[in-house]
Amino acid sequence: MEPVRWGVLGVSSHYIRRVHLPTQGSTVSTITAIASRSGERAQNAASELGIAQAYPSYAELLADDSIEAVYIPLPNTEHLEWIKKAADAGKHVLCEKPLGMDSAEVEQAIAYTGAHGVLLMEAFMYRFHPLWTRAKQLVAFGEIGAVRAVHVTFFYDNPDPSNIRNIAELGGGGLRDIGCYAVSASRYLVGREPTRVLSAIVRDNEFGTDALSTGVLDFGDAHATFSVGTRSYPEQSVAVSGSSGSIVIDLPFNIYPDVPVGLRVTNKIGTREIMTGPADQYQLQFDAFSRAVRDGRSAPTAVHDALKNQKVVDALFRSENTGTWQSLE
């Protein structure tokens, strides 16, 4: 197939290097343009990364008829605006999580892109890694029995006041940045939606963002718990406890593309380690989306999954304010 031609809105080095470098070796996805509000920054990024075209504004990139899809790694408060503008330009959209600041914005994004006939997907790259495919299979095949509990941790230490993750006015904070992974992974592994949630959140004294968030998701006969933070020693893990076994993933999200990764499954047979990869989850995500664009199919991860995830996150924020369980029914 002819590679889908991508444009990127923004020059955040964190995302551009993760996204552009994988697509350099892809036969189905190619990044042909990048844009910034600063023409100089756009040109510097294009030169550094070998991208053919640099635009001094997002609007000029969207006006390029050769571009078929765009990737949006902008601050959370800008997602809905540029999803709509991309749809107006007829571009398919892969947008960083979360799609919007709340479920109302996500609903708008879904309705708007649907009305314009373009694909929209939330960029949860982990679901495309074979490690997670294998974990989901183990649960589905009954290797650990019925899922009883999921526990997710995800921590990093970011003291930079200029980083968008630490700017409350731009939608920063740990729950939107990494707590959404914990919610997404829990829903994915349990295989259904929680009925109510409870949270405890500690705000950063300097930034006002949520620096430490702990949540409980009640699935009825299963629970998920998580703790995430932005000012802690870096660590991440996922543990799944079942009625007849368990699964542990030591590196569930920030998976290196050039080394194998594994999980441990324990049941009555014993404990065994299952290895997968190497695999680049970012390239797999881009390529899966590109194939959907080229084949005229739905996005590989249904966009309504983003709405379900956001409703849980919204409820966790409500619980912070009330100190009580919040219903999702």
C-beta atoms surrounding 232 within 10 Å: 17
Q: Name the band, by pLDDT with cuts 50, 70 and 90, for residue 16.
A: low
Q: Name the band, by pLDDT with cuts 50, 70 and 90, for residue 24.
A: confident
Q: What per-residue confidence (pLDDT) applies to 13? A: 61
In the predicted model, is pLDDT for residue 215 greater than 90? yes
C-beta atoms surrounding 168 within 10 Å: 13
Q: What per-residue confidence (pLDDT) applies to 143? A: 98
What's the pTM? 0.96
- The CATH T-level fold of domain 126-280 is Dihydrodipicolinate Reductase; domain 2 (3.30.360)
- For domain 4-124+283-309, say whether CATH 3.30.70.1560 is its number: no
Give me the residue spans of the domains in the chain. Answer: 4-124+283-309, 126-280
Q: What per-residue confidence (pLDDT) applies to 20? A: 61
Q: What per-residue confidence (pLDDT) applies to 315? A: 99
In the predicted model, is pLDDT for residue 91 greater than 80? yes
Amino acid at 12: S
Length, in residues, of the chain: 329
Amino acid at 224: A
Q: What per-residue confidence (pLDDT) applies to 48? A: 86
DSSP run (H or E) holding 211: strand 210-218
Q: Name the band, by pLDDT with cuts 50, 70 and 90, for residue 14.
A: low
What is the average pLDDT across 56-67? 98
Percent of the residues in the chain that have a pLDDT greater than 90, as a whole number: 92
In the predicted model, is pLDDT for residue 17 greater than 90? no
Q: State phi, psi for 301 to the nearest 5 degrees.
A: -110, 120
Q: How far apart are CA 208 and CA 313, in angstroms?
A: 18
Cα 290 to the center of its chain, rounded Å = 17
Q: What per-residue confidence (pLDDT) applies to 23? A: 73
Percent of the residues in the chain that have a pLDDT greater than 70, as a whole number: 97
